[in-house]
Amino acid sequence: MRIATWNVNSITARLPRLLAWLESSGTDVLCIQETKCTAEQFPADALRELGYESAVHATGRWNGVALVSRVGIEDVVRGLPGDPGYDGAEEPRSVSATCGGVRLWSVYVPNGREPDHPHYAYKLAWFEALRAAVAGDAAGSRPFAILGDYNVAPTDDDVWDIDRFEGATHVTEAERAALTALRETGLTDVVPRPLKYDHPFTYWDYRQLGFPKNRGMRIDLVYGNAPFAKAVTDSYVDREERKGKGASDHAPVVVDLEV
């Protein structure tokens, strides 16, 4: 089974590339983030024509997550139990389902904006709610993984120049501690470094020639429990999909399983 995660940064803008990539990559299940659409606007019909069922949690022009699968979708849960919400409202940042016998979450962790911003406190609270929600499945015997845009670089090597991030989010001690707490439920990072190049970044800013200069970050992660990790046979970042006109600022991360 081939499973992937991709922050598409607007599924409407990225739809032709998304459909072409699904066909060419042979992906069975794709976790999508930042759909930037309502559930009604989600292109479920176009995906169905390729053989994919959809589970969507989206409410408007910001955020939004989905799972699309050609190996079935069962037991769909939209939203995060214990979601702390932001500014009085819950945001569509997680959807989970069982696909081909594997339990999967697609997550879009809050950005945090700045360390002294209320959104940063929300980010840490959201991480804690996620940790509490997944602890049972993470420690269980069924293959289980959380895939998505975590908006945290796990180590200094996961950003192009750590000195440029002084005082910024994505690399703070508290954010990395939240990642550690999540892993301690029984999860591991199943996409190793290095892959086929020294820095397998997954995100490059559109500005200041971020991608051509490889000024990137590794913030799109796949955390799996022991049965999931044991089943992994290969993994890679599809850096080529970041190239060309109309690309997302994130690249897909792909994991192959023998299940």
Q: Annotated active-site positions, please?
A: 108, 149, 250
Residue 34 is assigned to a ligand binding site = yes
Closest by Cα among 243, 38, 224, 244 to 140:
224
Residue 87 is assigned to a ligand binding site = no
- Angstrom CA distances, 178 to 109, 146, 152, 160, 198, stand at 11, 14, 9, 22, 26
- C-alpha 34/C-alpha 149 separation (Å) is 9
Q: Which neighbouring-strand residues pair with 98?
A: 74, 103
Closest by Cα among 217, 227, 101, 215 to 159:
217
- C-alpha 87/C-alpha 121 separation (Å) is 12
Residue 86 burial by Cβ neighbours in a 10 Å radius (0-12, 13-18, 19+): middle
Residue 151 is assigned to a ligand binding site = yes
What is the H or E stretch that residue 222 is in?
strand 220-224
Q: How many residues does the chain have?
A: 259
- Angstrom CA distances, 256 to 84, 105, 158, 171, 253, stand at 33, 16, 22, 28, 10
Residue 63 is assigned to a ligand binding site = no
Annotated binding site for Mg(2+): 7, 34, 149, 151, 249-250
Annotated binding site: 7, 34, 149, 151, 249-250
